Amino acid sequence: MAALDTSCFNQIIGLANCACPCLTDTAPEGYNEATSGLFIADILPIEMVDGASDCSDPDNPWNVLQRGLDEGTNMLVKDLAAGLMKKNQLTRKPFTGLIGEKANRTALSMSKAYAGLRVWSPTIRGGYLRINKLGGVFDTTGTVTVRVYDQFNVQIGGAITLPVVAGVYSTVVTAIKLPLWQDGAKDCQYFLSYTTSGTPAPRAVRAWCSTCTGVTVPAFSLDRPWTSQKTWSRNLEWANWLQIGGWQYDNQTSFDLIAESTNADGVSNGLVLEAELTCDPISAVCLSQLDYSDPVALSIAHALRYAAAICTAEKIIRRTTPYRNAQVASEILAKDIQQWYIDYQANVEFSTYHANTGNTDCIFCKPAYSMGIQSKLT
């Protein structure tokens, strides 16, 4: 599974806002920047971790504070998610697996200069498509250079080189993360694109099948998206999130026009995705930069500072070679940790209880069930 996404919490808390010459000379970039105006050293003095004889030592104060902040961020993300899910549930079940087919014996004849796979989803704020491997089935051995574009004709990331073997399902590991919501769009669309000239001919692996029966995914349609038709299960659970189809065009600057087409080709032009579809409940409280006039955002900032201080202080206490200033204050630090944890929990509970679930499409309030007990007298 994908690692925790903590990007929303970047630069909320700073390490310290001090001007000690030795320390500032080796300070990391942005050490004294904090969108909330809060710093770890405000409650855990930086002198507590000042013991390295060389400021560039791996255990210099900045490195210790940064590790504490990193661990505190992960701690907060987990606790916020757990708190949010106490009274909420996910709107969609996460999916991990294959999107597409691994085999087909028919080679496709390309009629346009560019071709590829089209991905459509409704707007899912907080939802992500992570492509862990890009796969393909092509008719001859060679390489396929694939680029990803959004519906605004903007390329996402760099080119991906997919080595393919004739008639064999081939893959390359990728690290593509695509949000399933886009500002200024009524839906979300991405296009995987390659040049047909000089590229091995793709096999006709299916994106959908309009004539199939059973549980095969139905035709791509923006008029009647299959994501709203039924609840798909097992290997087709991705269809609760996405529609996929093929496309061909003569340029890579008209994806906004292709996005208006209500249908897509039934073949994926040889491309297959090994992917994850997830929705992050944290998006209920942190989907963009926090507005600290909101009590929930301010509580999150305070919770993060407490979490970072706790993780840093625990490192100080457990260090086999004590820092000179912290050695005489270990009992005070232990008491501080206890109080910080109480304050941390209070802020986490406030944030999750008062979170506005309308900010995200990931979770909704669990239905309230009631039980009644009746007695029968005879």
How many CB atoms neighbour CB 163 within 10 A? 12
The structural domains of the chain, ordered by start, are 7-89+285-365 (no CATH), 101-267 (2.60.120)
For 327, residues 6+ apart whose C-beta sits below 8 A from its C-beta are none
Q: Where are the beta strands (DSSP E) in the chain?
A: 13-14, 38-39, 88-90, 95-99, 114-122, 127-136, 142-150, 155-164, 170-179, 187-195, 243-249, 271-279, 363-365
Secondary structure (3-state) at 114: strand
pLDDT band at 320, cuts 50/70/90?
low
Q: 88-119, pLDDT tens digit by residue?
A: 999 999 999 999 999 999 999 999 999 999 99
**The model's pTM:** 0.86
* pLDDT (0 to 100) of residue 228: 73
- The span from the CA of 248 to the CA of 193, in Å, is 9
- The span from the CA of 188 to the CA of 88, in Å, is 25
**% of the chain exceeding 90 in pLDDT:** 71
Contact 257, 151 (CB under 8 A): no
* pLDDT (0 to 100) of residue 370: 43
* pLDDT (0 to 100) of residue 316: 84
* pLDDT (0 to 100) of residue 372: 47
Contact 56, 26 (CB under 8 A): yes
Mean pLDDT of 351-375: 79
- The span from the CA of 75 to the CA of 70, in Å, is 9
Residue whose C-alpha is closest to residue 129's, from 83, 201, 87, 180: 180
- The span from the CA of 102 to the CA of 96, in Å, is 16
Query: Structure tokens of 74?
Result: 């992960």
Rg (CA), the chain: 26
* pLDDT (0 to 100) of residue 288: 83
If phi > 0 it is left, if psi is from -120 to 50 it is alpha, else beta; for residue 142 that is left
Q: 151-186, pLDDT tens digit by residue?
A: 999 999 999 999 999 999 999 999 999 999 998 899
Is the torsion defined by CA of 256, 258, 263, 264 positive or negative?
A: negative
* pLDDT (0 to 100) of residue 128: 96
pLDDT band at 325, cuts 50/70/90?
low
In degrees and rounded to multiples of 5, residue 71 shows phi and psi of -70, -40
* pLDDT (0 to 100) of residue 273: 98
pLDDT band at 343, cuts 50/70/90?
very high
* pLDDT (0 to 100) of residue 46: 82
Q: 227-277, pLDDT tens digit by residue?
A: 776 688 888 899 999 999 999 999 999 999 999 999 999 999 999 999 999
Mean pLDDT of 300-310: 98
Query: Structure tokens of 342?
Result: 């109480």
DSSP 8-state code for residue 366: P
- The span from the CA of 146 to the CA of 192, in Å, is 6
* pLDDT (0 to 100) of residue 287: 85
Residue whose C-alpha is closest to residue 95's, from 127, 118, 117: 127
Q: Please state which of the ranges 34-43, 114-123, 142-151, 360-369 shows the lowest mean pLDDT.
A: 360-369
* pLDDT (0 to 100) of residue 378: 44
